[in-house]
Amino acid sequence: MAQVVVTKVTEADSHLVVRVDMLSDGTGELQNYIFLSPSDLNPARKNNKPTFRIMQAWYGLVWFDVSISAGTLQPVPLWTFPRDHGPHVDFRSFGGVIDTGVYEDPAIDDSGKLCMTTNGFAQLGSQGSLVLELRKTNG
C-alpha cells in the first residue's frame, strides 16, 4: 500500500493547514483516498455539510497528478494539481473552492470528507507533497 502521511501544520477555530506527503510503493493509483474528514478536526464536526474551503495550495509532484474531490458516495471534483506545475495556487480572491453541489441539491448526502485520486502515481518511487490552507465553513 502506498504511504500517505497527513500532518496538521496548524489548526484554529476557522482555519486549518494540512500537509499530505505521498510515496508510491508501485502497487497502483490512489482512488478516492480519504485524507481529511470532519471527524479529524478539533473539535470534530459531526454534521453532513461541506466542512472545508480550499483557500491556497502549495505542491510538488514528481511524475503524477492529484485530483481533490469532496464527499464519499459520489465525490465531487474540486481541483486538479498537475505534475510539473505550480507550486502555488491561490483561491482567496473569490472565497475558496468548495463543494457547491450540496447547496444546489439538499438531497445530496455529503460526508464533508476530502479525498484524492492520482494519475501516474503507480510507478514505484513516485512521490510528492501537497500543503492545503483550508477554511472551516460550518460548525
**Per-residue pLDDT tens digits for 73-82:** 778 899 999 9
CA distance 47 to 113: 11
The amino acid occupying position 96 is: G
What does pTM read for this prediction? 0.90
Residue whose grid cell is 510507478: 123
Residues 25 and 119: beta-carbon distance below 8 Å: no
Checking DSSP bridges between strand 76-81 and strand 65-70, what pairing results, if any?
antiparallel
Residue 48 has pLDDT above 60, yes or no: no
Q: What pLDDT was estimated at residue 26?
A: 93
Query: How much is the pLDDT for 109?
Result: 59
Question: Residue 128's domain spans which residues?
Answer: 3-136
Give the pLDDT band of residue 38 (cuts 50, 70, 90): confident
- Number of folded domains that form the chain: 1
Q: How many CB atoms lie within 10 A of CB 139?
A: 10
Is residue 120 within 8 A of residue 63, CB to CB? The reply is yes
Give the CATH number of the domain where residue 63 resides.
Answer: 2.60.120
Alpha helices in the chain (DSSP H): 101-104
SS3 45: coil
pLDDT tens across 96-117, in order?
998 776 666 655 656 788 999 9
pLDDT of 103: 65
